[in-house]
Amino acid sequence: MHILSAEFITSATRLSQYPPADLPEIAFAGKSNVGKSSLINILVNRKRLVKTSTTPGRTQLINFFNINSQMTFVDLPGYGYAKVPIAIQKSWKPMIETYLSERPTLKAVVMIMDIRRTPDEKDLYLLNWLGHHQIPTIPILTKTDKLKTSQQLHQLTLVSTTTGIPRDQIILFSAKTRIGKEPIWEAIERICHAAAL
């Protein structure tokens, strides 16, 4: 994908604040601090289109980005960080589930997990929820630069077993080395293309 433009559109918490649903949309989901915003920046070749942070729970709104006037990327707030105020933690579920179930142009969710961790009940809940609602899911294991190749393969097997996702469908990624960038774009373009038919 050749990126000509990548621009912030708006932030939202409620349905009434979403921008018009006029382009195929890809959402990025995962735990707080897992690297969602970093992954989006790499995909669109921008250093700081999306704010990243070492403080987990920074992205607390649904952020919409226009990519090439061709598709919309949506950076979803991360879940599962204990230090986020309880009121915000509680608002996460309805906020995300409303977005995921009510957005007519949503084509796929890029589901990002840390390669060093075993998916927990929150990850599994979201994966099941997406499957139940028949929303295509692109599973990513990120921060691969933190592990040796042999450890990466070990974790890949573990994640595949825990989630039930076949090994060959899980994409290994690193925002540091940029490995996995092309396979993620291919998966996104395949889904957008298929949805357009």
Ligand X SMILES: Nc1nc2c(ncn2[C@@H]2O[C@H](COP(=O)(O)OP(=O)(O)OP(=O)(O)O)[C@@H](O)[C@H]2O)c(=O)[nH]1
Query: Which residue from 56, 131, 136, 183 is in contact with ligand X, where contact means CB under 6 A?
Result: 56
What are the b/e assignments for 18-30, b being 16+ CB within 10 Å?
beeeebbbbbbbb
Query: Which residue from 37, 63, 142, 152 is in contact with Mg ion, where contact means CB under 5 A?
Result: 37
What's the min distance (Å) between Cβ of 16 and ligand X? 23
Give the whole-angstrom CA distance, residue 151 versus residue 79.
26
Contact 106, 135 (CB under 8 A): yes
Smaller CB separation from Mg ion, 18 or 81: 81
Q: What are the structure tokens assigned to 134, written together?
A: 């028949």
> For residues 52-71, which are near Mg ion according to CB under 5 A?
59
- Report the relative pairing of strands 71-75 and 62-67 from DSSP bridges: antiparallel
Smaller CB separation from ligand X, 33 or 163: 33
Q: What are the structure tokens assigned to 87, written together?
A: 């009121």
Alpha carbon separation from 76 to 61, 109, 145, 153 (Å, rounded): 7, 10, 24, 28
Smaller CB separation from Mg ion, 152 or 175: 175
Name the nearest CA neighbour of 36 among 184, 167, 197, 187: 184
Write the binding mask 140 to 169 for ligand X: x where contact by CB under 6 A, - elsewhere: --xx-xx-----------------------
What's the min distance (Å) between Cβ of 95 and ligand X? 13
Name the nearest CA neighbour of 47 among 81, 19, 6: 6
Q: Which residue is nearest to ligand X (CB)?
A: 78
What's CA 126's distance to the chain center, in Å?
Answer: 11
Task: Select the binding partner of residue 116 from ligand X, Mg ion, none (C-beta < 5 to 8 A, by kind).
Answer: none
What's CA 177's distance to the chain center, in Å?
Answer: 18
**Which stretch in 7-15, 36-44, 89-97, 101-109 sits in contact with ligand X by CB under 6 A?**
36-44
Residue 172 found at the interface with ligand X (CB under 6 A): no
**Residue ranges that bind Mg ion, judged by CB under 5 A:** 36-37, 59
**Residue ranges that bind ligand X, judged by CB under 6 A:** 30, 32-38, 52-54, 56-59, 78, 142-143, 145-146, 174-176
